[in-house]
Chains A and B, each alone.
Chain A
């Protein structure tokens, strides 16, 4: 696949957002805000940054994406389908009996899913293990870890961050969805996380911050991370929860629930209008 233009990337993210809404309303349960706000990051990763082949999900030389905050898996599933790992039509099976699209991702259920996650922060340790294995094998594969901001409250996150810093795992790039919300409220009310930059720097990580909805900026941050050889990199992606759907944006109440059918209709209308705007701006 050749490189996509900035407009094509934006349209891809928009399509992923539409599919997230469609699959969530069909499932009748699941998380809305995080998946929507990470559509731009996932588009950057799967349509530009990562070295992957959707037709060979077990390819030895592939880069690995490890989703630690498993609950945002609708964005992972929608991105994988968009990228051609499996048919888009299968997205509607999310959370239903017999589906490959489990409520939280399972490595053995669906090609392209590298690890299992759900209980927060387990992916951070898994990613460190995979990065260590690549280094032992002198493999060039890179590991892309996706974390939520809420899971920075887990002790295991910092155990993993400590080991990655100690081992100077420059083949590991983490990104934090800094959307400032979690189930019970705003992160800084539930359990303050700032100053995240200072925390990661203290653990010997290289820290970058980006607008999590600027796909070009996200791609550039990943390129900078690749150039850092002394330490692992974390990208703090500042995002708006529920991005792209106005009535969800910025509201923690949308962390853990799906839209109802009438709400989904409005959301899809908004996203289609946005799609039209992206197209017309390009013309």
Chain B
């Protein structure tokens, strides 16, 4: 049922699936990159531990810049480092970076084509108890609108590590969207990962579920459960939100005739909107959106928040059924 070519974790759907946070995958990959390339530099704004740049900072103190609680400066300093030939990874919570320093990202990094890697940690309501102020739900919208910027959200820790390595080797501005909680390992080290190329995680012909980030695991669970109801869901991991893999999205829309998008982000302006923009101009089909519907989050556990805000497995199943009912009957 799952796409064998993707070499996904065989424990998917079981209760003993291993979990790990995407931020950990990033931190480990950054440490490895540090050993291979002395141009790799890390910056943070007083969040070295929770963004997981701390191991790099301890091993390579001469290539680590603690900017203090000053994200606008951090982004500009990263731009300067990049223009002088360094490969800076600037890490903070996404609400602060790219949230608080968007103008610096726009001009000093994107318009200047500075080779800066922006690491936005703690995205989505799954940040949990810290509450709405720290739950980034708008960062995809404000990054994907910027020319020259590649936007990526890995679905698990392993993919986060691959993405970190990949963006280090690609010139130009990149935004990597990370999450706080330990989440299931959907992929394995053998799974394919190419920036800009969406992955088909599960075959299906009735509807396509396009998701990004660890929330995809809820989507996979929903799809597996729907098989029992004879609903066959095609599941796509759209880890690269920009540039968009239009070819795969259009192919999936043609095959299934109905789309559900799934993201831990505002539905307005997010990944789902990117998919809708693509399909509206190429192959319009009914589409439903799972994500935050124009509201802020609150304190709670990740599971409670997913349930409350319509991103739980049941909600995803209901949304899939809803879009199937909207399909144009042939």
Query: Measured between alpha carbons, how far is A106 from B70 in the docked complex, in Å?
Result: 25
A125 touches B68 (CB 8 A): no
Task: Say whether B41 contacts A160, CB under 8 Å.
Answer: no
**Which residues of B in the span 62-117 have a Cβ within 8 Å of any Cβ on A?**
62-63, 65, 67-68, 70, 72-86, 88, 103-104, 107-108, 111-113
Q: Chain A residues near B85: list those with CB within 8 A.
A: 133, 137
- Pairwise interchain contact B108-A116, C-beta atoms closer than 8 A: yes
CB of A253 closer than 8 Å to a CB of B: no
Known contacts A133-B86, A156-B73, A163-B73; decide if A127 and B111 are in contact (CB<8 Å): no
In the bound complex, do residue B77 and residue A132 qualify as a contact, i.e. CB atoms below 8 Å apart?
yes
Asked if residues A125 and B80 are in contact (CB atoms below 8 Å), the reply is yes
The verdict on A29 contacting chain B, using a C-beta distance below 8 Å, is no
Query: Which range holds the interface residue count of chain B?
Result: 20 to 34
B62 x A160 contact (CB < 8 A): no
Q: Which residues of A contact B84 (CB under 8 A)?
A: 64, 129-130, 133-134, 137
Residues of B within 8 A of A156 (CB): 72-73, 76, 104
Closest beta carbon of chain A to B79's beta carbon, Å: 5
**CB of A128 within 8 Å of the partner chain:** yes
Q: How far is the CB of A159 from chain B (nearest CB, A)?
A: 3
User: A155 interface residue, CB < 8 Å from B?
Assistant: yes
* A121 to B133 alpha-carbon distance, docked (Å): 27
- For residue A160, which residues in chain B have a CB less than 8 angstroms away from its CB? 73, 76-77
CB distance from B259 to the nearest CB of A (A): 37
> Once bound together, how far apart are the Cα atoms of A128 and B74, in whole Å?
10
* Residue pair B111, A124 in contact (C-beta under 8 Å): no
The answer to whether residues A129 and B78 also contact, given A114-B83, A116-B112 and a CB cut-off of 8 A, is yes
Asked if A278 is at the interface (CB within 8 A of a chain B CB), the reply is: no
Residues of B within 8 A of A228 (CB): none
- Check if A118 is an interface residue, CB within 8 A of chain B: yes
For A64, the chain B residues whose CB sits under 8 A away are: 84
The reply to whether A115 and B108 contact each other, CB–CB distance below 8 Å, is yes
Contact indicator B62/A136 (Cβ below 8 Å): yes
CA distance A129 to B68 in the complex (A): 15
A107 CA to B84 CA in the complex, in Å? 12
**CB-nearest residue of chain A relative to B109?**
A116
User: Interface on chain B toward A: helix, strand, loop, or mixed SS?
Assistant: helix
Q: Which residues of chain A have C-beta atoms less than 8 A from B67's C-beta?
A: 159, 163
Residues of B near A123 (CB, < 8 A) are: 76
Counting CB contacts under 8 A, is A117 at the interface?
A: yes
Q: Are B79 and A162 in contact (CB under 8 A)?
A: no
A12: interface (CB < 8 Å): no
For B107, give its contact among A66, A117, A129, A159 (CB under 8 Å). A117
Chain A residues with CB under 8 Å of B104's CB are 119, 122, 125, 156
Contact B108–A163 (Cβ < 8 Å): no
Q: Are B81 and A159 in contact (CB under 8 A)?
A: no
- Collect the chain A residues with CB atoms within 8 Å of residue B73's CB: 124-125, 128, 156, 159-160, 162-163
Among candidates A108, A132, A155, A162, residue contacting B65 with C-beta atoms closer than 8 Å = A132
- A152 shortest CB reach to chain B, Å: 15
| A247 nearest CB across to chain B (Å) | 34
When C-beta atoms are compared, the residue in chain A nearest to B110 turns out to be A116
Residues in A with CB closer than 8 Å to B107 are 116-119, 122
Give the residue name and chain of the A residue nearest to B103 (CB). A119
Q: Name the residue on A nearest B116 (C-beta).
A: A129
Q: Report the Cα distance A107→B114, complex, angstroms.
A: 10
CB distance from B322 to the nearest CB of A (A): 44
Residues from chain B with Cβ under 8 Å of A129 in the complex: 76-84, 88
Q: How far is the CA of A126 from the CA of B75 in the complex (A)?
A: 9
Query: How many whole Å from B158's CB to the nearest CB in chain A?
Result: 31
One digit per residue, 1 when the CB lies within 8 angstroms of any chain A CB and 0 when it does not, for chain B 102-139 equals 01100110011100000000000000000000000000
Point out the residue from B62, B77, B82, B112 that lies within 8 Å of A163, measured CB to CB.
Answer: B77
Quick one: closest A residue to B82, CB to CB?
Answer: A129
With the chains together, A115 CA to B83 CA distance in Å? 8
Sample (17) of A-B pairs whose CB atoms are under 8 Å apart: A106-B111, A106-B112, A114-B83, A115-B80, A115-B83, A115-B112, A125-B104, A126-B76, A126-B77, A129-B76, A129-B78, A129-B82, A130-B83, A159-B67, A159-B68, A159-B73, A163-B68
